[in-house]
Amino acid sequence: MIHAVAPGSAPQDSDVLVRVDDVRKYFPIRTGLLRREVGRVHAVDGVSLEIRKGETLGIVGETGCGKSTLARCIARLYDLTAGTVVFDGRDISRLSRRRMRPLRKGIQMIFQDPIGSLNPRRRVGSIIGDPFAIHGISRGEDRKHQVQELMRVVGLNPEHYNRFPAEFSGGQRQRIGVARALALRPKLIIADEPVSALDVSIQAQILNLLTDLQDEFGLTYIFIAHDLSVVRHVSDRIAVMYLGKIVEVASVSELYARPRHPYTNALLSAVPVPDPDQADQRERIILVGDVPSPINPPSGCRFHPRCPKAQNLCTEVDPPLEVKKDDRAEHVAACHFPVEVGEKLSRARAGIAQPERQAAVEVSHEAVEGAIGPKEKT
């Protein structure tokens, strides 16, 4: 894996492949005959991030927090409501479809459901060859050779060129998705929950494939997942998302050693620990209640209705994403009362009394079986 930037140092512009600045995506809610706008889903609500060349940035958060919407904004599959996305030094935020087209080669996506995104009546060779056809690159035997080479690279048998998607297993179908994404030699691949639909044993194979390809092709990844157990094994840095906002960003080691945001703590406590002794000692934080509606997000810190540390200030002032005391420069968290090292959230007492308050912290000492075995990166 390429580490373009030493952990802890601020990235130079030349190290950054994507810069996301205050990006917002609101979906209008319309009703009635006149389709009047009656509200807006604040799916992504002021996200700023940079993705460095050659790294894997993991984005993690509960379902519905805006991960896929953010991914589609970065890939410019969506128009932005506000904010900017700079890709490879070029501001792509407001480019028209036509002007975006040549740049699309540089940003490719891999989706969760490889089956749903593949046309069952088309042969795999022609599906993988789509990007070449769309961009008018190579034809005939030439294209077939390129497709078969891609099949080999992702671990598929090139002789299966004429088979249909139904003849492949779930893991193989995701390899087809990876081959398509690789076809145009992109700089950035956004993998949106690429292994969530796969069996645990197959997940590791796809994760290994993605890691190998990153080294071979010098790729930069945004890797999205709804829990930390998967992103941990592939990411250099992790951004934690909650209800349309990024609440913490840090290197993997820093995030695991010193999680500062109570929400990150809760997510981490749910990650299976392979060592039962360690799991025995760990407090398990169970967040109750659903993620609040992004149509009318809570005031101040959006996490306050579920946060065991919430105080009155949290209901009024939205905490900025910033470096906390004693943290490294690249570790930022959005919290007025960040978690200290060794602090037990189970002992925290919220200072706000709201009838609708949902927060609950439960401690359990049961060991949790590992969902996927640890795969340390090289």
Ligand X SMILES: Nc1ncnc2c1ncn2[C@@H]1O[C@H](COP(=O)(O)OP(=O)(O)O)[C@@H](O)[C@H]1O
Binding stretches for ligand X (CB under 6 A)? 27, 41, 43, 61, 63-69, 294
- CB under 8 Å to 200, separation ≥6 — which residues? 371, 372
For ligand SF4, give the closer residue by CB, 105 or 336: 336
> Does residue 129 touch ligand SF4 according to CB under 6 A?
no
| Residue 69 contact among ligand X, ligand SF4, Mg ion, none, beta carbon within 5 to 8 Å by kind | ligand X
**What angle, 0 to 180 degrees and rounded to 10, lies between the N-to-C axes of helices 170-182 and 200-217?**
20
| Residue 262 contact among Mg ion, ligand SF4, ligand X, none, beta carbon within 5 to 8 Å by kind | ligand SF4
* C-alpha–C-alpha distance, residues 76 and 99, integer Å: 11
Which of 42, 51, 58, 68 is the binder for Mg ion (CB under 5 A)? Answer: 68
For ligand SF4, give the closer residue by CB, 123 or 324: 324
Q: In what order do the strands lie in the sheet with 90-91?
A: 36-52, 16-31, 82-87, 90-91
Any idea of the CA torsion for 92, 98, 102, 104, to the nearest 10 degrees? 60
DSSP conformational letter for 248: E
- 262 to 146, 235, 337, 341: CA distances (angstroms): 48, 21, 9, 12
For Mg ion, give the closer residue by CB, 68 or 93: 68
Phi, psi of 184 (to 5 degrees): -95, 20
> Closest Cα partner for 18 from 103, 99, 143?
103
> Does residue 319 touch ligand SF4 according to CB under 6 A?
yes
Which of 241, 310, 321, 361 is the binder for ligand SF4 (CB under 6 A)? Answer: 310
Phi, psi of 349 (to 5 degrees): -125, 120
Report the SS3 class of residue 278.
Answer: helix
The window from 29-37, 77-85, 173-181, 329-337 that contacts ligand SF4 (CB under 6 A) reads 329-337
| Residue 76 contact among Mg ion, ligand SF4, ligand X, none, beta carbon within 5 to 8 Å by kind | none
Q: Pull the structure tokens for residue 79.
A: 């128009």
The window from 66-74, 112-120, 197-205, 308-316 that contacts ligand SF4 (CB under 6 A) reads 308-316
To the nearest whole angstrom, how small is the minimum distance from the Cβ of residue 2 to ligand X? 27
For ligand SF4, what does the binding mask look like between residues 254 and 273, x meaning CB under 6 A? -------xx-----------
To the nearest whole angstrom, how small is the minimum distance from the Cβ of residue 66 to ligand X? 4
To the nearest whole angstrom, how small is the minimum distance from the Cβ of residue 160 to Mg ion? 30
To the nearest whole angstrom, how small is the minimum distance from the Cβ of residue 172 to Mg ion? 23
Q: Which residues pair with 31 in a beta bridge?
A: 36
- 138 to 105, 124, 128, 161: CA distances (angstroms): 15, 17, 13, 17
> Does residue 245 touch ligand SF4 according to CB under 6 A?
no
The window from 84-92, 142-150, 233-241, 304-312 that contacts ligand SF4 (CB under 6 A) reads 304-312
| Residue 303 contact among ligand X, ligand SF4, Mg ion, none, beta carbon within 5 to 8 Å by kind | ligand SF4
> Does residue 307 touch ligand SF4 according to CB under 6 A?
yes
DSSP conformational letter for 166: G
> Does residue 336 touch ligand SF4 according to CB under 6 A?
yes
- Please answer whether residues 340 and 347 qualify as being in contact, where contact means their C-beta atoms are separated by less than 8 angstroms: no
Phi, psi of 150 (to 5 degrees): -60, -40
DSSP conformational letter for 114: T
Site residues for Mg ion per CB under 5 A: 68
Site residues for ligand SF4 per CB under 6 A: 261-262, 301, 303-304, 307, 309-310, 314, 319, 335-337
